[in-house]
């Protein structure tokens, strides 16, 4: 039996899940993005578990923003950031730092009650898969 892939090799089915979630997320369908990630939790390696839970929480947070539940969104984002902060800028097949920066910015705006809903609509957050399935963890 061959050795398992090294931690830097991303399984194809996990990459497909990240891409499917990104498609939903980037279309503003945050609830559906969370569901795509949740469907594949059994496939997530232990070293990426907290990252994927954090990504699910980020998607749920943005779903709450889209529903106008801003306090609940801020609380969900804060939980998510606790989970994803320990990971490098590129992890789990995504540009994590870009997403983290946006979530941090949105949490700050939500907490200060200056969240800009028109900007959110004009310039929504993005979940950006890395080209070629690169993953650093």
User: Which CATH number fits the domain that encloses residue 52?
Assistant: 1.10.3450.10
Within a domain: residue 5?
no
Q: Domain containing 18: what range?
A: 12-130
pLDDT of residue 60: 98
Residue 32 within a domain = yes
* Residue 95, SS3 per DSSP: strand
**Range 44-51 average pLDDT:** 94
Structure tokens at 124: 């929504």
Tokens (6 digits) for 130: 């890395």
Assign 10 to helix, strand or coil: coil
In a domain, residue 22? The reply is yes
Q: What pairing do the DSSP bridges indicate for beta strands 90-91 and 94-95?
A: antiparallel
Note the pTM of the prediction, 2 decimals: 0.88
In angstroms, the Cα distances linking 76 to 4, 22, 93 are 35, 19, 22
Residue 137 placed within a domain: no
| pLDDT tens string 94-120 | 999 999 999 999 999 999 999 999 999
Q: Say what the pLDDT of residue 9 is.
A: 46
Tell me the sheet residues that pair with 90: 95
Classify residue 136: in a domain, yes or no: no
Give the total number of structural domains in the chain. 1
7 assigned to some structural domain: no
55-70 confidence digits (pLDDT tens): 999 999 999 999 999 9
Q: Is 6 part of any domain? A: no
């Amino acid at each position: 039996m061959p050795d398992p892939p090294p931690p830097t090799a991303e399984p194809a089915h996990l990459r497909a899940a990240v891409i499917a979630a990104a498609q939903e997320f980037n279309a503003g369908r945050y609830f559906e993005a969370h569901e795509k990630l949740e469907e594949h939790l059994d496939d997530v390696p232990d070293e990426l578990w907290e990252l994927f839970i954090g990504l699910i929480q980020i998607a749920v947070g943005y779903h709450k923003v889209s529903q106008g539940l801003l306090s609940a969104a801020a609380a969900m984002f804060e939980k998510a950031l606790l989970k994803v902060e320990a990971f490098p800028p590129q992890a789990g097949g995504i540009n994590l730092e870009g997403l983290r920066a946006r979530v941090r910015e949105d949490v700050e705006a939500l907490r200060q009650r200056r969240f800009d809903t028109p900007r959110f609509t004009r310039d929504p957050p993005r979940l950006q898969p890395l080209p070629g399935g690169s993953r650093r963890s």
